[in-house]
């Protein structure tokens, strides 16, 4: 099995199936960073600071088993389309965000959903991976329902018949439906839903050794316990290591090369 390349993998010796990357995509100013801030810090900043690309990492110990979740907060301005394509290739689970008061941002989510499907289908031809990555679509800023520009029927139409896709109307600002959305995402991804912010105990970085201790299933580790810790100085794996990961996945798992499918 291929492991994602990162020094922290060795540190905790986490099985590859428990290492996942969550990627959040959508137009600018729709609230992607606000949602990630809710996820990591349980707060939301009113200030707007454009994201170029932010990388976060969270470790979990859930019933004695270790998990690593990498989180890629992308730019809505996507100045580098190749980077966006790479983030889709390396992503395992996706959050697509539009703002309910901005029709253009909904059209962008439609395009992104298609792009994820096409990119993953292309990779699937070369690997044993499932083409349908779990996707949760968020209609954010439901606190501004008065200014709504996207109707429920068109959202239903986008999600209909796709078992790997769910839709939630949320407000990162008011913390409405955010935990439910993460619960649904982890359920779709067949990950423990204790990974949702409301379902585990947050451990501060100084108690990081709790992960080592619990992972060895010491007497103190109780079944039913779930701990999460945000890695303090997480650094995005280099573009090179992401490319090597994808290449290894594509070339390593497939004997036959198919035509017209460019990985990067
Ligand atoms: N009313 C309201 N405002 C929100 C909500 N979520 C985010 N905002 C605000 O919308 C603005 C943009 O939020 P960001 O999270 O920075 O947007 P973004 O999608 O990360 O934008 P880029 O980084 O440019 O791609 C900020 O001023 C937030 O405070 C929400 O649920 N309701
Ligand atoms: Mg942002």
Residue 178's H or E segment, with its range, is helix 178-188
pLDDT digits (tens, 9 = 90+) for 248-259: 777 655 544 444
Taking the CA of 50 as reference, the closest ligand is: 1
Q: Ligand 1, residue 34: give the atom nearest the CA.
A: 15
22: which residues sit within 8 A by CB, 6+ positions away?
69, 70, 71, 72, 91, 92, 93, 94, 95, 185
**How many A from CA of 14 to the centre of ligand 1?**
33
In this prediction, residue 264 carries a pLDDT of 38
Atom 15 of ligand 1, residue of closest alpha carbon:
31
Calculate mean pLDDT across residues 196-205.
Answer: 86
Residue 184's H or E segment, with its range, is helix 178-188
Q: Ligand 1, residue 176: give the atom nearest the CA.
A: 31
DSSP sequence for 226-258: EEEEE-TT--PPPHHHHHHHHHHHHHHH-SSPP
Indicate the top mutation candidate among 27, 28, 29 to test ligand 1's pocket, ranked by most ligand atoms within 8 A of CB.
29
Query: For the chain, which domains are there?
Result: 13-262 (3.40.50.300)
In this prediction, residue 59 carries a pLDDT of 93
In this prediction, residue 131 carries a pLDDT of 61
Residue 43 banded pLDDT, cuts 50, 70, 90: confident
**How many A from CA of 151 to the centre of ligand 2?**
25
Q: Ligand 1, residue 142: give the atom nearest the CA.
A: 31
State whether the Cα torsion 46-87-113-52 is positive or negative.
Answer: positive
Calculate mean pLDDT across residues 11-32.
Answer: 92
Taking the CA of 99 as reference, the closest ligand is: 1
**How many A from CA of 53 to the centre of ligand 2?**
8
Q: Name residue 227's beta-bridge partners.
A: 61, 201
Calculate mean pLDDT across residues 164-185.
Answer: 97
Determine contact, residues 86/116, Cβ cutoff 8 Å. Answer: no
Taking the CA of 29 as reference, the closest ligand is: 1
Query: CA-to-CA distance for 35 and 56, rounded, in angstroms?
Result: 13
Determine contact, residues 196/190, Cβ cutoff 8 Å. Answer: no
**How many A from CA of 29 to the centre of ligand 1?**
5
As given in the structure block, the two tokens for residue 186 are 């982890």
Pocket-forming residues, ligand 1, beta carbon under 6 Å: 26, 28-34, 45-46, 48, 50-51, 75-76, 140-141, 143-144, 171-173
In this prediction, residue 130 carries a pLDDT of 58
Determine contact, residues 197/39, Cβ cutoff 8 Å. Answer: yes
As given in the structure block, the two tokens for residue 210 are 């709790």
Q: Ligand 1, residue 31: give the atom nearest the CA.
A: 15
pLDDT digits (tens, 9 = 90+) for 68-94: 999 999 999 977 888 888 999 999 999
Residues with CB under 5 A from ligand 2 (ion): 32-33, 51
Kindly report the number of other CB atoms within 10 A of residue 131's CB atom.
16
Please report, in angstroms and rounded to a whole number, the separation of the first and last CA atoms in the chain. 22
């Amino acid at each position: 099995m291929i492991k994602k390349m990162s020094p922290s993998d060795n540190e905790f010796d986490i099985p590859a199936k428990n290492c996942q990357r969550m990627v959040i995509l959508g137009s600018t100013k729709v609230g992607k960073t606000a949602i990630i801030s809710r996820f990591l810090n349980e707060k939301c900043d009113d200030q707007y600071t454009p994201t170029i690309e932010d990388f976060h990492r969270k470790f979990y110990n859930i019933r004695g088993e270790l998990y690593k979740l990498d989180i890629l907060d992308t730019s809505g301005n996507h100045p580098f389309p190749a980077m966006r394509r790479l983030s889709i290739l390396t992503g395992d689970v996706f959050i697509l965000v539009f703002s309910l008061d901005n029709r253009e941002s909904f059209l962008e989510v439609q395009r992104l959903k298609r792009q994820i499907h096409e990119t993953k289908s292309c990779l699937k031809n070369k690997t044993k991976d499932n083409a349908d990555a779990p996707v949760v679509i968020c209609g954010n800023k439901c606190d501004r329902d008065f200014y709504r520009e996207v109707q429920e029927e068109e959202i239903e139409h986008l999600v209909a018949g796709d078992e790997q896709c769910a839709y939630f109307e949320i407000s990162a600002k008011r913390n409405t439906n955010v935990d439910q959305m993460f619960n649904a995402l982890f359920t779709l991804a067949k990950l423990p839903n204790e990974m949702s912010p409301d379902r585990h105990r947050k451990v501060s970085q100084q108690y990081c050794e709790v992960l080592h201790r619990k992972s060895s299933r010491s007497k103190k580790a109780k079944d039913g316990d779930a701990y999460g810790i945000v890695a303090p100085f997480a650094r995005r794996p280099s573009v090179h290591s992401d490319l090597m990961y994808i290449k290894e996945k594509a070339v390593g798992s497939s004997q036959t090369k198919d035509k017209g499918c460019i990985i990067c």
